Chains A and B, each alone.
Chain A
Amino acid sequence: MKVTVKHWHAVAQWRWDTGASESEGNDENEDVCGICRVPYEGCCPSCKMPGDDCPLIWGECTHVFHMHCLLKWIGTPASKQQCPMDRRTWVTAERKVGNS
């Protein structure tokens, strides 16, 4: 018998590729943005649409936030341009942003 797939209407979820090796089925411990505490695949409190409209931002320090959340923090004088997690000066990683 030969099975030929003519058409496949499949369903998939998109995930941010945070670089963390994804252990399948580990859905419960989903990552949240440390600032707004909304999951990465959700959107920051200022946004209504997730995904490309509300992207993530990676720091050299490997910390990841919703871009809008981080930029808002960095914009405050109190932030001293530091990563909210480790207080190192924030440097946006080249890895993900800008090469799409």
Chain B
Amino acid sequence: MATAALRSQVAAKWHEGFNRLNRSEPGISGLLSFSQAWNIATDYLHPRDISDPTSVKQHDLASVKAAFDLINRSRRLPVMLETFLDDICNQYHLIVRDIEQYLAEYEQSLDTSVMLRLIFRLVEWYRAWAPIEELGPTIRAAYTLTFQTQLFSTVPPGFVRGFKALCASTLVPVAQHTPQMWEAFEVLGLTDRYEGIIASVGYERIEDHVRETCTGKLCHGCSPMYAKGAANTEEARGLLQNVGSRFDFHMNKTLCDLRTSEIFDIIIDFPDSNGALQDLKECLQRVDQRASLVQALRKAYVFLVLPFLNFPPRDYRISNRKRLLHPGADTKLILSQYVATIKCLRIVDPPGVLLFKVADPIRRYLRERPDTIRSIVANLVGDDDSGDSLVDENEPIQPLQQLETEDYNDPHWDPEPIDAGPDFRTNKPSDVISTLVSIYDSKDLFVKELQVLLAQRLLAITDDNFEKVEKERRNIEILKIRFGEAALQVCEVMLKDMTDSKRIDGHVQSQKASIVHPTIISRHFWPSLESSDIVMPGQFQALQTEYAKEFSTFKPDKKLRWLPHLGTVHLELQLEDRTIETDVPPLEAAFIELFSEKSESTLVPHIWTMDELIEGVGAVDRIAALKALITWIDLGVLKEDEENTFRLLEVKEEAAPPSRIAPAAIDAPTVTAAQQQQADQMRLYWKFIEGMLTNLGSLPLDRIQTMLRFAPGYDQTVEQLAGFMEAARREGLVVGRDGMWKLNR
């Protein structure tokens, strides 16, 4: 029951409403014009099916504007908006229909351009339904919100997949429409809504891209490429500012991880891998991955060093680190890797903390290897016979750097990096040689080893290749810069002895020609050359005495003391049926001289026992004697008829008798197949042996055997190996002297 009060209230409201709508126009003309305006406006705003061309109506924008103005003046705009938004919701099925269509098409073809068209279609919808600007931002925002809410609540799950694929597709270089697409995303609110997806697309893309384009490409760094990529999508980036820095970090981290995993190859390929190192350097500055790099490096070195430690071979066979791991991988190789590591880490981390952390274990390891010094020294002197020099030729030669304590007065002093350990020693950028020498505590050891090496090389020089002395002299001059004049004084004396010897020999020969051409050395200045007590027999002694006499005539205050075990003799052996010319060490010469003496005196038995021979040259150990005799046996000059009894073969005998060491191999089970198998197997291992001997110079048999045991499947006994080496020697592949085997070059 309506009261009068209520009634009057309603009347008042109605009147008020009427007045608002009629705007004090006469009669209800105002109301009529409002109704007209409402119709125009709602008709204009009505969300139409844009795929139905008939639904598109032309509007007189002026009258539409007037209508809105009228509605606004009548303060009916909010109601109007509500109606409009309701209409949007009601009409949204039109859009959903489109979406489903496109998605169906996309899911069939997986063509992202369908997705792109869908996006643009959605924009079309959005634009078509959007109210005019004049209605102000509030209405516009309300519309956008509703549109997007509708969109997000109605899109099927397939949309997200397609969207992601679309995003990904645009990251392919030179994607078309990219700016419009991002614009469309923004219009549709997709960038905010799917930020996570877009970012993950970015991450995945970065990872894939880094892996695809950077893996193995160590020569050109990838960071610059990325910088370029970023420039291309700068506009897109602009829309994604907060994502940008995350992308940046992610990219650095991915690249850093990649390069870290590749560190082994980077080091091996250095300096071709310079680009990759630059990547690593830049990435490390942004992401903290130093610890994992150290770990990776250490691991790489474990692989490198492994064959020399007593790890079961299985461990490294399963790893696919193919290089460096055969038993012949030698000091030189490790050294060159060490040098490469130094160079690499110097690029990545100039203060040297990483280097210290990684290099220290290697240094400790190298220190324990007996041939490290020799290897470095051989390298210092240049022209060592195997492979590349460790020393960069472009690197200026400079005095050795000794380890210094920190100089706090240095204006360029920087505090130690934060991850430097307490035992970290600043390793100022120094040349490679200094770093190598710093493996040891003093340079004295090096200088000593240098002297030994120089002595060996100088004593190998004869008149035929005397120009080599000048070469050695030049080397020493270079080394003086590094080690200082005083340290190499001894080398100077050795070189002077060489030239003096030649001069003296020239004089002696001019007085009384001799086939002896000695190198006369200064005692105390040459490294102790193993001494020997052999006395050269027969004509050799005569030759020595004669020369020494002539020498003392030339230098009356001096005399000569022969070192009969050193040098080489070029001999001609005239046998009944043949003449043999050969270069042999003095002991060999001494033995054959003994045989020739006996053949002159007694004519019949050119037979000597081992003991007689040894006695005949004074004192020499049996192994050396046997070696010398085997030389002649191999030349077919002597024959060992029974053990330790040797006979001169005045007339050649067919079927070269097996040498002394060979029987061990021949005594092995005489199953042809097995032998053949063994031979095949040994051929396989020849590569290893060749590698070892190339790298290490000469090795005793047992050391070769020890190293071969690391090779997969090797099961030969040392006797079998001895037989093989002997066979290799007969083939001229190796030479054996004093129990040491080396390649025959």
Contacts and interface: CB of A to CB of B under 8 A. Distances in A.
A51 to B, nearest CB: 6
Interface in B569-619: 569-576, 581, 586, 589, 592-593, 595-596, 599, 606
B515 A7 contact: yes
B523 to A, nearest CB: 4
A9 B557 contact: no
Given A1-B575, A3-B539, A7-B515, A14 B559 contact: yes
A16 B518 contact: no
A41 B555 contact: no
B567 A11 contact: yes
B539 A5 contact: yes
A17 B559 contact: yes
A86 to B, nearest CB: 22
Contacts of B524: 39, 41-42, 50
Contact of A2 (B492, B518, B574): B574
Nearest to B606: A1
Contact of B563 (A3, A12, A50, A96): A12
B670 to A, nearest CB: 36
Contacts of B744: none
B567 A14 contact: no
B492 A49 contact: yes
A13 B573 contact: no
A83 interface: no
Contacts of A96: 556-557
A5 to B, nearest CB: 5
A4 interface: yes
Interface residues of B, number: 61
Interface string B613-655: 0000000000000000000000000000000000010100000
Contacts of B573: 1-4
Interface in A1-60: 1-17, 22, 25, 27, 39, 41-42, 48-52, 55-56
User: By DSSP majority rule, is chain B's interface helix, strand, loop, or mixed?
Assistant: mixed
A76 interface: no
B609 to A, nearest CB: 18
B533 interface: yes
A3 B519 CA distance: 23
B648 A1 contact: yes
B522 A13 contact: yes
B559 A10 contact: no
Nearest to B524: A42
B552 A17 contact: yes
Contact of B555 (A27, A50, A100): A100
Contacts of A15: 523, 558-561
Nearest to A99: B556
A46 to B, nearest CB: 13
Contact of A4 (B463, B500, B562, B574): B574
B566 interface: yes
Interface string B533-549: 10000011001100110
Contacts of B650: 1
B521 A9 contact: no
Contacts of B74: none
A49 B496 CA distance: 8
Contacts, number: 155
A17 B559 CA distance: 6
Contacts of A3: 539, 571-574, 589, 592-593, 596
Contacts of B427: none
B261 interface: no
A9 B145 CA distance: 102
A9 B563 contact: no
A59 B52 CA distance: 133
B636 to A, nearest CB: 13
Interface string A88-100: 0000000011011
B656 interface: no
B570 A6 contact: yes
Contact of B522 (A27, A51, A55, A97): A51
Given A5-B515, A8-B516, A13 B569 contact: no
A50 B592 contact: no
B493 interface: yes
A14 B431 CA distance: 40
A39 B522 CA distance: 12
Contact of B596 (A1, A10, A16, A39): A1
A8 B595 contact: no
B523 A41 contact: yes
A51 B517 contact: no
A61 B511 CA distance: 35
B571 A14 contact: no
Interface centre among A2, A11, A42, A49 (most CB of B within 10 A): A11
B540 A11 contact: no
A14 B562 contact: no
Interface in B484-529: 489, 492-493, 496, 500, 515-525, 529
Given A5-B515, A17-B552, A49-B492, A12 B561 contact: yes
B243 interface: no
Contacts of A5: 515, 539-540, 543, 569-571, 589
B521 A12 contact: yes
Contacts of A50: 493, 522, 524-525
B459 interface: yes
A100 B558 CA distance: 10
Given A1-B573, A56-B557, A96-B556, A10 B562 contact: yes
30 contacts: A1-B650, A2-B574, A3-B572, A3-B589, A3-B592, A4-B572, A5-B515, A6-B570, A6-B571, A6-B572, A7-B569, A7-B570, A8-B515, A8-B516, A8-B568, A10-B562, A13-B522, A14-B520, A14-B555, A14-B559, A15-B558, A15-B560, A15-B561, A25-B533, A41-B523, A41-B524, A42-B525, A49-B492, A51-B522, A100-B556
Given A7-B517, A50-B524, 13 more contacts: A2-B573, A2-B574, A3-B593, A6-B570, A8-B515, A9-B463, A11-B518, A12-B518, A12-B521, A15-B523, A22-B559, A39-B523, A49-B493
